[in-house]
Structure 1
C-alpha cells in the first residue's frame, strides 16, 4: 500500500488568529480589490479554497465578490456568522 506524502493544509493552520488588532486578517480565495474590506462567512459544505481545506461550520474571511459567488453556489450557510 502506498501512502501520499503530500501535506494537506487545514483551515485552522491557515487562519491563525492575529496577535494584535493592528494586523490584517487572513483572506482565503481571490485577493481583495482596491477599497474592499473582507467579509466574514460561515461555510455550509466542505470546500478546498486556495489549497486550504474548509469544513462545514468554519468561519473565514473572503472578498465580497467571492462571498457572492459562494452564496450563489450554496457553499455559504444561511445564518450569519457572529462578527
Structure 2
C-alpha cells in the first residue's frame, strides 16, 4: 500500500488560495436582452405592450434595464415609451 508523504494544507490556507482569482466583469444580472457594450451604462425603459424577452414575459408597465441600442429598438417597434 502506497502512502502520500505530501503534508495536507489547513482548510484556511486552501480557501485563501482559491479566493485570489478574480471573476470576469459581466453585466448586471438584471439587464434584459443583449448586454450593453463595455463602458456603456444600461438604461431603463417602460413597456407599453406585453413583450417576451429571452423566454420571460413582461406585462405592460414593466420597467426593464436594457442596453441603449436595445432600448432604441424597443421604442422604434412601439414596445417601450418614447422619452
State the TM bucket, normalised to the shorter chain.
Answer: 0.5 to 0.7
TM-score, length of structure 1 as denominator length: 0.62
Larger Rg: 2
Q: Which residues of structure 2 form unaligned runs of 5+?
A: 1-27
What RMSD, in angstroms, separates the aligned Cα atoms of the two structures? Answer: 1.4
Q: Compare relative contact order (CA 8 Å, sep 6+) and give the higher one, 1 or 2.
A: 1
- Number of corresponding residues: 56
- Tell me what 2:15 maps to: none
Residue 36 of structure 1 and its aligned partner are, at CA, apart by 0.8
Tell me, yes or no, if structure 1 residue 40 matches structure 2 residue 44.
yes
Q: Which residues of structure 1 form unaligned runs of 5+?
A: 1-23
Contact 1:25 1:61 in 2 (8 A): no
TM-score, length of structure 2 as denominator length: 0.62
